[in-house]
A and B are shown apart, each in its own frame.
Chain A
Amino acid sequence: MPRAFSTIWQVTEGHRTRYAFALAALIASGAVLYTVPLVSKSVIDVIIVRGAKESLPPTSVWIVDAMGGAAHVRDRLWIPGLVMLAITVLAGVLTHLRTRLSSGAAEAVARRLRDNLYDHMQRLTCRTLDQRPSGDLLQRCTSDVETLRNFLAGQVIEIGRAVAMLVIPLPLMFWLDWRLTIASIVLLPVIVTFSLVFFHRMRPVFTAKENAEGKMTTTITENLTGIRVVRAFARQDFEQSKFEGSSGEFRDADMKLFRLLATFWASSDLLCFAQSILAVGTGLWLLAHDRVSVGTFFWFISVIGMFIWPVRMMGRILADLGKALAAIERIREIVDTPDERVGDATEPFAPSGNGVSIEFRDVTFGFGAPDAPAATPVLDRVSFSIPAGGTLGIVGPSGAGKSTIVHLLLRFYDYEHGSILVAGRELRTIPRQAIRGAIGSVLQQPFLYSKTLKDNILVSAAGDSNTEDAMRSAAAVASVHSSIEEFPQQYETLVGERGITLSGGQRQRVAIARSLVQDPKILILDDALSAVDTHTEAEILQSFRSRTAKHTTIVIAHRLSTLMHADRIVVLDRGHVVQSGTHEELVAQPGMYRTLWEIQTQTEDPDERENAEVAHVH
């Protein structure tokens, strides 16, 4: 808990002055508000109830004197009316200032927090991202930040207001009449305790309701996702009764909450009324015995309403405080996770010329934690090298570790043993952003942003000059230009939920165009043509070869036609390099590569062979 408070203190940095002024405005507005009924009280005492048997309260006399004296005011009763209006307006201005300041501060804190979280999240290490479900991270960024904002903009202010409204009139109350004062506040601790305990007790009911709602939502989602199964089995009635069950449970949980709230509001109303009645009864008794003036009594019954209701809400706010503190802890946990920049290399990396050399020397890597490496490493003493401007093909079964090589090069993860040299420099000593900036990578299921095609292709373009041309020529190389031209809005077509859905092959080709615009030193195609048909693939590869000299290329593929033209091909199996050489060399030797080549190029009638096999078995 104290950690949460220190977090709150930290996040408000730079806005504390505003909070201080807001507090000042809050106190001032409270003080001013209580003087409004003071005016009517004085007028009642001095002018209205003239034949007062008791001596006039000095406050009333002063206030009436300040307005010009009893005789003057008596003929001009609009004066106190106007004064009341003026004071209220003043209080209103102060309240407005207070809200403006506190909301301004709270919203600014929330904005900074959102920005920081956003930036922090995109720089979290891949390991952290692997470990945390994205739903959980999303919740911390959205609903937890909202809870904190609510706390800063609402709850803190409400508590401050409740306390201020209670404390400010106390001196005046005691000065005016101590007996009435005590009768007006004696039950307040009971009211606060009652509401605090009640809302604390109610938390499981809130949770139960939320759970029931969650379950109902799941039922709906499941039904809609499986609607074809429901129809195919004609199970509409069954589904309906299942849903009515969970909807009914939610209704009952919600109703339970309503019943409890009814009890709370009714009984806390009773408590507050008891407080008022106590004050009114005492006041009437004093009034009847001429121990208090009508005006003073009037003032007391006017102000009780001003502090009693905020006090009642305080219990609820205090009970909700736990929720806010938990949210703050959760946000803190994310912010405290070190991001990629922590301990990253700083020495700049700017290799000259077209393409850079890459060398893997006995690289071993397992996805387990560094102190407890996995039993079987994903990569086990992998070595290969590519000269600057050269092309390497990698082929192998799924799970062989092909993509891991890409991830290591992009420094998504750091290798544990061995060494990776890029342009002769140890990869670890190259800043993450620098090496990534030098690599253009296309993954098997590329991610496109919910932006226009143009924005997606130009997403990492450096300057503004000739970008349109660069985009078109990159799209042409990736064989996607003509498909894009066919869309009604062409390059301005929006991708994603709000726009069009691209086919897997189209996405891959857009991603290829995107990486070409980057003009990278190293180009990596990780199964990037798997969803593209053979004909288009041939086209893309043809235009690629005419520009390969520009960069070092790594091509990962299942389809051998994709990588057979590489300078060197590595066959990877379960983390080991099992074969390597040129296409011609590999086809000449028995092994995985040749088997695959035979499968992919065979022309004989498979049925004959199958039948022969079947016959053989029998």
Chain B
Amino acid sequence: MSTSHLDDEFKGNFDPRVWRKLLVYLKGERRAVAQVAIGGSIIAVIEALLPILVGRMIDEADQHGLDGNLLPTFVLYVSLFAFFAGGVWMFIRAAGVVATGVGHRLRRDCFAKLQELSFSYFDTRPVGWLTSRLTSDCGRISGTLPWVILDLFWGSLLLLGAVIAMFVIEPRLAMYVLVVVPFLVVTSVVFQQLMLKSSRQARRTNSAMTASYNEELLGARTTKALVREEKNLAEFQRLSTQMNTWMLKNAIQSSVYLPLIMSIGAAGAGIALWKGGNDLLAGSGLTPGQLIAFLQFATLFAQPVQELAQRFADILNASSAAERVVSLLETTPEIRDSDAVRARVAATPSGVAQTDGGSIDGGSPRISEVVFEHVTFWYKPGVPVLHDFNLTVRKGQTVALVGATGGGKSTIVSLVARFYEPREGRILLDGVEYRDRSLHWLQSNLGVIQQVPHLFSGTVLENIRYGRLDATREEIEAAARRVNAHDFISALERGYEFQVGEGGDRLSTGQRQLVALARAVLRDPQIFIMDEATSSVDTATERLIQGGIEAILRDRIAFVIAHRLSTIRRADIILVIDGGRVVERGTHRELLARRGRYFELYTNQYAAEREIELFGQGAATVR
């Protein structure tokens, strides 16, 4: 799976369906799109007119001197430049509006889609990969579109204008000069394809090289310890040689392409001079000024043809980006409200819906019982992680889930949170199948604390406020006090205004847990889900956390992936999970008396906690 993610970066062919999907985004920028087209057209027309005007002026000046029509023509000539500059100004600004507007709306929609996609989507895609869909892919698409529009108008109008102008002056000569156009087109299309291929290869090699540098930095000590410097260098040199080959190939292709285009243009001018000169000498009425105009037209074709071929290559280049973005936008979330639920949400007065946690789908706002009924779940077909699981939890009860990693503990809490849904069986909230309730309502009533809680960059205050966006400063401090977080927060530099850094990395894990607890308390959830940490906090902080947890478990339904003896002992129901099955179930006393799997786990945990006390963090070993 991951291999295909990384490798499709540089492929992609033109798929009209994909681009039609994206054209919708241009609709919102109709005005700017029109301005790009108008700006491009103005320039094209002026560029096609200039050789004619220059030819006219030469004829006038040569034959009639300063008298006659020279001055008016010159004034027209000068004023055209003002229009030209105006056209340039207009299309660049309009292209900016299109590029930035389309980019913004594409990103917005992709982001919104990511907010509703199920976790199974994220399980197989690294964060970095998803981020570049929103940054580089959306950027490439929005950066390509306006210039394609511009060159479509500018290029084709300029070609058309030049052809018309030449036919008006002298149709037979125009036919001769036009002979070069097919050559221009074929050369351009062929070379743009070649150059696209080599530049893609270079980019692919470049990303391999970056990965290689990165790996070297990560594994610097290993490389030293293994004395692998020479071999590493030899492997890297293979990459840098490849890079050299592709870059050089690309440069040489363009160094053949541009002179070829120039030569074809010169051939056109040569033909114009030859045939036009003959006509003129034969007295066909062609003037020297008109001949000069023809000479200029013959070289003028090269640029629009070149640009159009370039845009074609750009579209191919952006195709894989377009495919990925469209496929993201078209993904339907596996878990979402059913149509019936959505209808009920729509029918519920919005005043209620706005408040956090209130019932927004017309059902009961309270949760006093969670029931698992014959629940079976698997991530990969054929590999069940939970099998025929039954459980009833009532308000005020705490369920402790214990057992080895990978046994299915996190699966159970993910199912409660409806991050995943049961593959078989059902989960009932106060007797109602939870698929018949609003997802937003359920998740608004959850308080989740992860083992390594994620904080957002910003202040401590903002992070706690995430629990309830309209909370006052007093309420936030009260929440922090309830979980014993207030003292440590006050001791921070700038207190509640302390910047926690990216992901909260300026706080220790223990401190992050306290902030996350305060955040959950502020939320005042009906169901509380917690993944306890084992060894990442020092004893003093751990005591603080203990007190904090006790404060919020009261009167709630709580699911705890428990490691700490104190939590485990206090739980109302302890489930020992192993291999997707509940192997033991009961209270602490009952299970200890059984001297089974729980007894073993508990004894080990006891030793581990003692070790940590003695040896500090990170000391506990796997048993």
Query: Are these two chains actual partners, yes or no?
Result: yes
Q: Are A231 and B417 in contact (CB under 8 A)?
A: yes
Within the complex, which residue of B216, B256, B291 is in contact with A122, where a contact is CB–CB below 8 Å?
B216
Stretch at the interface among A1-9, A415-423, A596-604: A596-604
Chain A: minimal CB distance from B537 (Å): 14
Q: Are B277 and A49 in contact (CB under 8 A)?
A: no
Which residues does chain B contribute within 8 Å of A36, judged by CB atoms? 266, 269
Q: Are B443 and A397 in contact (CB under 8 A)?
A: no
Classify chain A's interface size.
Answer: 35 or more
Q: Are B122 and A40 in contact (CB under 8 A)?
A: no
A31 to B274, CA, bound (A): 24
Which residues does chain B contribute within 8 Å of A213, judged by CB atoms? 135
Q: Are A610 and B288 in contact (CB under 8 A)?
A: no
A397: nearest chain-B partner, CB-CB: B615
Q: Are B218 and A222 in contact (CB under 8 A)?
A: no
Q: Which of B378-395 contact A (CB under 8 A)?
A: none
A277 to B224, CA, bound (A): 67
With A228-B419, A460-B226 in contact, is A221–B131 under 8 Å at CB?
A: yes
Which residues does chain A contribute within 8 Å of B214, judged by CB atoms? 134, 138
A172, CB-defined interface residue at 8 Å: no
With A111-B241, A534-B623 in contact, is A447–B228 under 8 Å at CB?
A: no
A62, CB-defined interface residue at 8 Å: no
Within the complex, which residue of B77, B86, B259, B616 is in contact with A277, where a contact is CB–CB below 8 Å?
B77
Which residues does chain A contribute within 8 Å of B258, judged by CB atoms? 92, 95
Which residues does chain A contribute within 8 Å of B220, judged by CB atoms? 121-122, 124, 126, 129
Q: Are A142 and B97 in contact (CB under 8 A)?
A: no
B19, CB-defined interface residue at 8 Å: no
B81: nearest chain-A partner, CB-CB: A273
A77 to B280, CA, bound (A): 11
A491 to B134, CA, bound (A): 37
A259-B96, A285-B66, A599-B614 known; 12 new pairs, CB 8 Å cut-off, are A122-B216, A122-B232, A142-B210, A220-B130, A229-B450, A240-B108, A240-B111, A258-B93, A412-B221, A557-B621, A595-B614, A610-B606
The 3 closest A-B pairs by CB, nearest first: A258-B96, A92-B259, A81-B270
Q: Are A78 and B217 in contact (CB under 8 A)?
A: no
Q: What are some 16 contacts across the A-B interface (CB < 8 A)? A: A77-B273, A77-B274, A83-B270, A89-B259, A119-B229, A123-B229, A134-B217, A142-B209, A224-B122, A229-B448, A233-B446, A247-B107, A263-B89, A497-B6, A558-B621, A602-B607
Chain A: minimal CB distance from B576 (Å): 16
Q: Which of B359-398 contact A (CB under 8 A)?
A: none
Q: Are B225 and A605 in contact (CB under 8 A)?
A: no
Q: Are B469 and A238 in contact (CB under 8 A)?
A: yes
Which residues does chain B contribute within 8 Å of A263, judged by CB atoms? 89
With A121-B217, A267-B85, A301-B54 in contact, is A84–B135 under 8 Å at CB?
A: no
Within the complex, which residue of A254, A450, A459 is in contact with B211, where a contact is CB–CB below 8 Å?
A450
A433, CB-defined interface residue at 8 Å: yes
Residue with the highest number of chain A CB atoms closer than 10 Å, among B111, B127, B619: B111
A24, CB-defined interface residue at 8 Å: no
Q: Are B611 and A596 in contact (CB under 8 A)?
A: yes
Q: Are B225 and A298 in contact (CB under 8 A)?
A: no
B490, CB-defined interface residue at 8 Å: no
Q: Which of B551-593 contact A (CB under 8 A)?
A: 565, 588, 592
With A48-B280, A229-B454, A232-B443 in contact, is A460–B228 under 8 Å at CB?
A: yes
Which residues does chain B contribute within 8 Å of A505, judged by CB atoms? 622
**Beta-carbon contacts of B70-108 to A below 8 Å, as 1s and 0s?**
100010011001101110111011011101110110011
A94: nearest chain-B partner, CB-CB: B259
A545, CB-defined interface residue at 8 Å: no
With A48-B277, A224-B114, A251-B101 in contact, is A266–B454 under 8 Å at CB?
A: no
**Beta-carbon contacts of A402-434 to B below 8 Å, as 1s and 0s?**
000000001010000000000000000000110
With A262-B93, A450-B211 in contact, is A531–B622 under 8 Å at CB?
A: yes
Which residues does chain B contribute within 8 Å of A229, judged by CB atoms? 448, 450, 453-454, 456, 466
A230 to B443, CA, bound (A): 10
With A107-B244, A228-B419, A232-B417 in contact, is A270–B81 under 8 Å at CB?
A: yes
With A243-B108, A436-B226 in contact, is A265–B215 under 8 Å at CB?
A: no
Chain A: minimal CB distance from B154 (Å): 14
Q: Are A410 and B224 in contact (CB under 8 A)?
A: yes
With A138-B214, A605-B592 in contact, is A498–B273 under 8 Å at CB?
A: no
Q: Which of A13-55 contact B (CB under 8 A)?
A: 36, 40, 43-44, 47-49
With A95-B259, A273-B81 in contact, is A44–B225 under 8 Å at CB?
A: no
A104, CB-defined interface residue at 8 Å: yes
Chain B interface mostly: helix
Within the complex, which residue of B225, B469, B592, B617 is in contact with A436, where a contact is CB–CB below 8 Å?
B225
Residue with the highest number of chain A CB atoms closer than 10 Å, among B81, B262, B273, B453: B273
Q: Which of B449-472 contact A (CB under 8 A)?
A: 450, 453-457, 466-467, 469
B218: nearest chain-A partner, CB-CB: A447
A311 to B26, CA, bound (A): 36
B284, CB-defined interface residue at 8 Å: no
A518 to B228, CA, bound (A): 12
**Beta-carbon contacts of A215-237 to B below 8 Å, as 1s and 0s?**
01110111111111111111110
A82: nearest chain-B partner, CB-CB: B270
A580, CB-defined interface residue at 8 Å: no
Which residues does chain A contribute within 8 Å of B610, judged by CB atoms? 599
Q: Are B277 and A398 in contact (CB under 8 A)?
A: no
A153 to B292, CA, bound (A): 37
A285 to B58, CA, bound (A): 10
A397 to B612, CA, bound (A): 9
Within the complex, which residue of B61, B107, B255, B443 is in contact with A231, where a contact is CB–CB below 8 Å?
B443
A324, CB-defined interface residue at 8 Å: no
A285 to B606, CA, bound (A): 102
With A221-B127, A518-B226 in contact, is A103–B122 under 8 Å at CB?
A: no
Chain B: minimal CB distance from A379 (Å): 18
Q: Are A99 and B619 in contact (CB under 8 A)?
A: no
Which residues does chain A contribute within 8 Å of B622, judged by CB atoms? 505, 530-534
Chain A: minimal CB distance from B237 (Å): 6
With A88-B262, A265-B88 in contact, is A225–B100 under 8 Å at CB?
A: no
A559, CB-defined interface residue at 8 Å: yes
With A100-B252, A254-B96, A606-B602 in contact, is A227–B122 under 8 Å at CB?
A: yes
Q: Are A558 and B606 in contact (CB under 8 A)?
A: no
Chain A: minimal CB distance from B66 (Å): 4
B295: nearest chain-A partner, CB-CB: A40
Which residues does chain B contribute within 8 Å of A57, judged by CB atoms? none
B236, CB-defined interface residue at 8 Å: yes
A287, CB-defined interface residue at 8 Å: yes
A141, CB-defined interface residue at 8 Å: yes
Which residues does chain B contribute within 8 Å of A277, judged by CB atoms? 77-78, 81
Q: Are B100 and A262 in contact (CB under 8 A)?
A: no
A547, CB-defined interface residue at 8 Å: no
B248, CB-defined interface residue at 8 Å: yes
A263 to B96, CA, bound (A): 12
Q: Are A266 and B85 in contact (CB under 8 A)?
A: yes
Residue with the highest number of chain B CB atoms closer than 10 Å, among A77, A460, A558, A605: A77
Chain B: minimal CB distance from A282 (Å): 11
A345, CB-defined interface residue at 8 Å: no
Q: Are A44 and B292 in contact (CB under 8 A)?
A: yes
Which residues does chain B contribute within 8 Å of A236, judged by CB atoms? 115-116
Which residues does chain B contribute within 8 Å of A118, judged by CB atoms? 212-213, 216, 232-233, 236, 240
Which residues does chain B contribute within 8 Å of A498, judged by CB atoms? 2-3, 6
A592, CB-defined interface residue at 8 Å: yes
Q: Which of B428-483 contact A (CB under 8 A)?
A: 440, 443-444, 446-448, 450, 453-457, 466-467, 469
A531 to B210, CA, bound (A): 31
A247 to B244, CA, bound (A): 37
Q: Which of A467-524 contact B (CB under 8 A)?
A: 497-499, 505, 514, 518
Q: Are B115 and A230 in contact (CB under 8 A)?
A: yes
With A48-B277, A222-B457, A228-B454 in contact, is A137–B247 under 8 Å at CB?
A: no
